[in-house]
Structure 1
Amino acid sequence: MFETLVKDTQTLPTPRAQVFATLVDWTRYADWNPYIVRIDGQPQVGQAIRVFFSMGFGPAMPLSCRVTTVDPSKTMLAWDYKAFIPWLYTARHSFTVEDSPGGQSLVIQTEDIKGLMASSLFRIFHKLLQRRFQAMHAALRKRVAHAAA
Structure 2
Amino acid sequence: MLDWMKQAKGHEEDPVFGFNPDAVTRSETIEISAPSRTVWDVLTDLPRYNEWNPFCIRAVSTLEMGAPIEMTLINYATAGGPTVPNLEYICGFEPEKLLSWEFPNLDYWPYPARRDQVIEATGDASCRYYSTDAFLGANGIHVFRFAGPWIKRAFDDSAVALKARAEALYAAANG
Does the pair score TM above 0.5?
yes
2:82 matches 1:59:
yes
Q: Is the 8 A contact 2:58 2:72 kept in 1?
A: yes
Greater percentage in strand = 1
Counterpart amino acid of residue 86 in structure 2: L
2:66 matches 1:43:
no
SS at match of 1:119: helix
2:97 matches 1:71:
no
1:55, distance to aligned residue in structure 2 (A): 3.0
**CA shift in 2, pair 1:121/1:45, >3 Å:** closer
Distance 1:82 1:59 in 2: 24
Distance 1:17 1:33 in 2: 18
Distance 2:81 2:105 in 1: 19
1:107, distance to aligned residue in structure 2 (A): 0.6
1:83, distance to aligned residue in structure 2 (A): 6.0
Distance 2:122 2:73 in 1: 28
- Greater Cα offset, 54-63 or 113-122: 113-122
Q: Is the 8 A contact 1:86 1:115 kept in 2?
A: no
Gaps in structure 1 of 5+ consecutive residues:
none
1:88, distance to aligned residue in structure 2 (A): 3.6
Q: Which residue of 2 aligns with 1:89?
A: 111
Runs of 4+ with >2 A deviation: 82-88, 115-118, 120-124
1:49, distance to aligned residue in structure 2 (A): 2.0
Distance 1:65 1:121 in 2: 17
TM-score (norm 2): 0.74
Determine which of 25, 44, 52 is the counterpart of 1:6: 25
Please show how residues 15-26 of structure 1 align to structure 2 within 5 Å.
15-26=35-46
Q: Give 1 or 2 for the bigger CA radius of gyration.
A: 2
Q: Is the 8 A contact 1:14 1:104 kept in 2?
A: yes
Counterpart amino acid of residue 68 in structure 1: C
Q: Is the 8 A contact 1:76 1:94 kept in 2?
A: yes
**Length, aligned pairs only:** 148
Q: Is the 8 A contact 1:5 1:112 kept in 2?
A: yes
- Greater Cα offset, 57-66 or 25-34: 57-66
TM-score (norm 1): 0.86
Q: Is the 8 A contact 2:92 2:100 kept in 1?
A: yes
